[in-house]
Amino acid sequence: MRIATWNINSVRLRLPLVMRLLDEADPDVLCLQETKCVDDAFPRNAFAERGYTHAHIHGMKGYNGVAILSRRPIEGQEVLHWCERQDCRHGVARVDGLEIHNVYVPAGGDVPDPAVNEKFAHKLRFLDELAGWWPQERSSDRPMVLVGDLNVAPLENDVWSHKQMLGVVSHTPVEVEKLGAVQRSIGWIDAMRAFVPDTEKLYTWWSYRAQDWAASDRGRRLDHVWVTPPLQDRLRGIRVLREARGWEPKPSDHVPVVLDLAD
DNA sequence: ATGGTTGCACGGCAA
């Protein structure tokens, strides 16, 4: 079973690039974040024509939005809400007995102080609620995959400069600690770091603001793939499609991550 | 130190 995740930053604008990913990576399941469109406007047919006839789509106008497209049947689906909002950040689909969570954590704005920046306060609260929910509602015995844009780069080599990023939203100690609490809550395994050692730089996002993203290479690992312990022995590989950051026209600022699990 | 870009939707916000 192959599962891909990608923050697509408008699924309609970038539909040709998504089709290219389907061609090149050939996933069984594709999880998208930041689809930025209401469900009626989602380009379902383009996916169905390629065999992705099963879909769990949960979007809103202009912002956020998550979608799970699958060529294997979706056996059950669910939408989760956090922070008393309905802002389309968490979809769940069960495929082949696996529970797949597709998550888009709030970015958190620019100022890493919850007292003056409501967006950062929202991000921290969102992570707190996730950390509390897992052990209450799910057992670590359940085979689950969590993918998505978690908007936190937790490890030193998940950013281009640990020292220079310590005060920058996405790598501040308070966020890293709260993401760690989510991960520890039911023992999620970081599948990307199971294949790439912590000593090696690993990024999934490069800002649009760099003159030359590849030359400066000031990336961050904001996108993640986690699995629960029952899936550990089924991990077969992870691929980060760095080259997709250069796909023309109009690349996303995030790149896809592809997980292979033994069936 | 600051400003740099993009998307949605058509002004200004979010990232």
List protein-proximal bases of chain B (any atom < 7 A from a CB): 3-9, 14-15
Q: What is the pLDDT of residue A94?
A: 98
CATH of the domain at A257: 3.60.10.10
Residue A13 CA distance to nucleotide B4 C1' (Å): 23
Single out the residue of A105, A64, A96, A58 nearest to residue A78, CA to CA.
Answer: A58
Cα–Cα distance, A76 to A73 (Å, whole number): 9
Q: What is the pLDDT of residues A80-128, one digit of tens each?
A: 999 999 999 999 999 999 999 999 999 999 999 999 999 999 999 999 9
> How many structural domains is chain A composed of?
1
Q: What is the pLDDT of residue A220?
A: 98
pTM recorded for the entire structure: 0.97
Residue A97 token pair = 């007995």
Nucleotide nearest to A9 (CA to C1'): B7
Q: Look up the domain containing A174 and give its range.
A: 2-261
Prior bond of A249 cis (ω within 30°): yes
Q: What is the pLDDT of residues A15-66, one digit of tens each?
A: 999 999 999 999 999 999 999 999 999 999 999 999 999 999 999 999 999 9
Q: What is the pLDDT of residue A7?
A: 98
Q: How confident is the model at residue A69 (pLDDT cuts 50, 70, 90)?
A: very high
Q: What is the pLDDT of residues A174-227, one digit of tens each?
A: 999 999 999 999 999 999 999 999 999 999 999 999 999 999 999 999 999 999
C-alpha neighbours within 13 Å on the C-beta side of residue A163: 0
Nucleotide nearest to A122 (CA to C1'): B14
